Structure 1
Amino acid sequence: MKSAAFRVLCVFAFLLALPLGMASAQSADPFEYGWNLDGDASELRFLSVKKSKIAETSSFATLSGLITENGQAQVRVLLDSVDTKVDLRNVRMRFLFFETFKFPEAIITAELNPELLTDLHMTRRKEIELPYSFTLRGVTLDRTTDVAVTLIDNDRVVVSSITPIAFTLEELDLEEGRMKLQEAANVDITPVGVVSFNFVFNRAQPGTPPDIPEAVLTPAAVALETKGDMSEEACRGRFEILSKTGNIFFASGSTRLDDKSIPLLENLYDIVNRCPGFRLEIAGHTDSIGSDQQNQVISERRAASVRTWLLDKGIPSDRMAAVGYGEARPIVSNDTPQNRARNRRIEFTVLN
């Protein structure tokens, strides 16, 4: 009969042998079967600076992605899921900065070189130089960055930024959004964003290639906010933000809504629906070009066009009032084409 000490020694030897057995079972092909992004475990963060010295870190809650069996990688970021930890700040980021009603997602693509990763199953972690493309608001930037690729086990891998990646807001077509944010929040914002990431992938099953689910692009589909009816503060804040987007369009001198207005109007409808206890004033404003009387009529009819659009969507008539203020309430002087464009606007106000 073997002693207890001998049995303990055998168990100990078995445990020591486990890592070697596991390593030998792992494939030298780093992309075997492909990989699916674990959105819940992954992170994409960006840092912004306001008032020249206050740094704020935000993230995105909804990510999807894959790495194919050929090493083609893609990560999609649903911009509606921006998370600043403050509700109305999230809304400003969605409507004023990213304009998610027009540009719902950002896309990162890259091609991983298998020759650099064939020994990953032995080294467990490698640092490589990775060329990638980043597409946002229809603008694509081609860059290179250093990433760490870490094999957690045979079916889980992590791709992480080693150093933060800096972008100017101008090169991403976000400068106008920055100006809108500054005006809405009454703060100075540095025109640079710094991005870092930690993407976690799970190996796909044999015979089931990795796939990215279709994005749900309905208004506020993934927005981080309470579902259902909203509070008075939330309603007032959203209508104030919608008033600053500048994305309700009419042809010059016309009172007919341009089709470019529909994405924002769909979001407006969604918010009006979720603020059932409030009446809404829809106010039209013009620049100073033309006569006072002409501008008054145009402002009234443009406000009425928005009201009619909401009526046709099913919002009760007694919940909305359309008014025109002509050129009487400019927000900036009418001395430049850019300023006149800002004065031509539709504003939304909760009525008591």
Structure 2
Amino acid sequence: MLGSAARSEAQDADPFEHGWILDAGASDLQFLSVKKSVIAETSSFATLSGLITDTGAAQIRVLMDSVDTKIDLRNVRMRFLFFETFLFPEATISAQLDAGQLRDLHTTRRKVIDLPFTLNLHGVTVERTAEVAVTLMSNDRVTVASTNPIVLALQEFNLEEGRAKLQEAANVDILPMGMVSFSFVFDRAQPGTPPDLQSVTAPVTPGSAALETQGDFDREACLGRFEILSRTGNIYFGPGSARLDDKSVPLLENLHDIVRRCPDLRIEISGHTDSIGSDASNQRLSERRAQSVRDWLAAKGIPADRLLAVGYGETRPAFSNDTEEDRRRNRRIEFAEIGG
């Protein structure tokens, strides 16, 4: 009894005693999107980590590859077309909890507070305030949950281009906002081992958290991924050049992983240009650019006889060539099964 009383007094003095560690399996982070104006879809993230230090500094880390829509190719679209996880593999939520607001949590058991937080998503950092409910489930377990959905405008996070790609891929209209809700469950850390914010900043291996079949993909999964990769627009060359820009590497690394896991397929790598310049020069440029991608994959160990580089010049535009934006999108590399 004396031990319990001492523990209660300690909690009264310091609600962050020893710090807290996120129970990822019991926690949940969801976002709701709306398509066709009336159809709401809820998705979540499967890989979370986080903590609250003994000074009340809180951080949640979200591995964006772990997006879970319950449908494999929809997950892949979200990763490559919307969130661009090959460039932005994680999102973080940071906050500083106020001990004064929570000092009596051990007696009230539940408190609703306004919590300022910082969200870093898709390379953009914003500051917001959310109403959250902090509930002490036991002396060593607490939840921090949103009381209302948090509305995020996609434009604010440079996600409008990703929304356009999703709309084209799925042939649906999607509202330019998402609604986020969460319930984070924390367990008290062991005495003498206060959690450190550095423990949730380990480097992320691209694709490591993706929810997909381990090992080789079947043909349908391969073809679906090639179609999605063809829509990314994240393979770059200098103007009039066939030399791959270094900023292409993150997507190429993911492409390599997918091609490697489709060992029974021979793959056509096709280059396409806009309509500026002569037909002959555009044809040559498209062939050289496709060959550069083929050479990159072969250098990474993909058997050369599985890869065919083809140039189509300006003959297969995906968009009109009337605007600079459409011309930019026509300058692309696509992937398909040979003979498919």
| Aligned counterpart in structure 1 of residue 57 of structure 2, from 61, 72, 89 | 72
Which residue is equivalent to 2:292? 305
CA distance in 1, matches of 2:6, 2:227: 58
Which residue is equivalent to 2:313? 326
Which residue is equivalent to 1:167? 152
Q: 1:213 to 1:131 in 2, by over 3 A?
A: closer
2:25 aligned counterpart, secondary structure: coil
| Aligned counterpart in structure 1 of residue 245 of structure 2, from 251, 254, 258 | 258
CA distance in 2, matches of 1:217, 1:308: 27
Q: Does 1:241 align with 2:228?
A: yes
Query: Is the contact between residue 82 and residue 224 of structure 1 (CA under 8 Å) also seen in structure 2?
Result: yes
Which structure would you say has the larger Rg?
1
1:29-48, Cα deviation, whole Å (9 max, x unpaired) = 11011111111111000000
Instruction: Kindly state the Cα deviation for residue 351 of structure 1 after the two structures are TM-superposed.
Output: 1.8
Q: 1:260 to 1:236 in 2, by over 3 A?
A: same
1:87-122, Cα deviation, whole Å (9 max, x unpaired) = 000000000000000000111111111000000011
Which residue is equivalent to 1:134? 119
- The aligned length equals 335
Query: Is the contact between residue 98 and residue 174 of structure 1 (CA under 8 Å) also seen in structure 2?
Result: yes
Instruction: Kindly state the Cα deviation for residue 213 of structure 1 after the two structures are TM-superposed.
Output: 4.0
| Aligned counterpart in structure 2 of residue 287 of structure 1, from 260, 274, 280 | 274
Instruction: Kindly state the Cα deviation for residue 153 of structure 1 after the two structures are TM-superposed.
Output: 1.0
2:206 aligned counterpart, secondary structure: coil
1:220-260, Cα deviation, whole Å (9 max, x unpaired) = 10000010000111000000000000000000011000000
Instruction: Kindly state the Cα deviation for residue 172 of structure 1 after the two structures are TM-superposed.
Output: 1.4
CA distance in 1, matches of 2:93, 2:39: 28
RMSD: 1.5
CA distance in 1, matches of 2:152, 2:6: 41
Query: Is the contact between residue 48 and residue 55 of structure 1 (CA under 8 Å) also seen in structure 2?
Result: yes
Which residue is equivalent to 1:124? 109
CA distance in 2, matches of 1:332, 1:24: 67
1:178-232, Cα deviation, whole Å (9 max, x unpaired) = 0000000111101110000000111111111214344452231000001000011
| Aligned counterpart in structure 2 of residue 83 of structure 1, from 39, 56, 68 | 68
Structure 1's unaligned 5+ residue stretches are 1-16
| Aligned counterpart in structure 1 of residue 83 of structure 2, from 66, 81, 98 | 98
Which residue is equivalent to 1:193? 178
Which residue is equivalent to 2:11? 27
- Counting aligned pairs with the same residue, the percent is 68
Structure 1 runs (4+) deviating above 2 angstroms are 20-26, 211-219
Q: Does 1:157 align with 2:142?
A: yes
CA distance in 2, matches of 1:345, 1:316: 23
Instruction: Give the TM-score normalised by structure 1.
Output: 0.92
CA distance in 1, matches of 2:201, 2:96: 22
Q: 1:43 to 1:92 in 2, by over 3 A?
A: same
Instruction: Give the TM-score normalised by structure 2.
Output: 0.96
Query: Is the contact between residue 23 and residue 122 of structure 1 (CA under 8 Å) also seen in structure 2?
Result: no
| Aligned counterpart in structure 2 of residue 225 of structure 1, from 208, 212, 220 | 212
Query: Is the contact between residue 78 and residue 104 of structure 1 (CA under 8 Å) also seen in structure 2?
Result: yes
1:49 aligned counterpart, secondary structure: strand
Q: Name the aligned partner's letter for residue 64 of structure 2.
A: L
Structure 2's unaligned 5+ residue stretches are none
CA distance in 2, matches of 1:198, 1:76: 14
Instruction: Kindly state the Cα deviation for residue 25 of structure 1 after the two structures are TM-superposed.
Output: 6.8
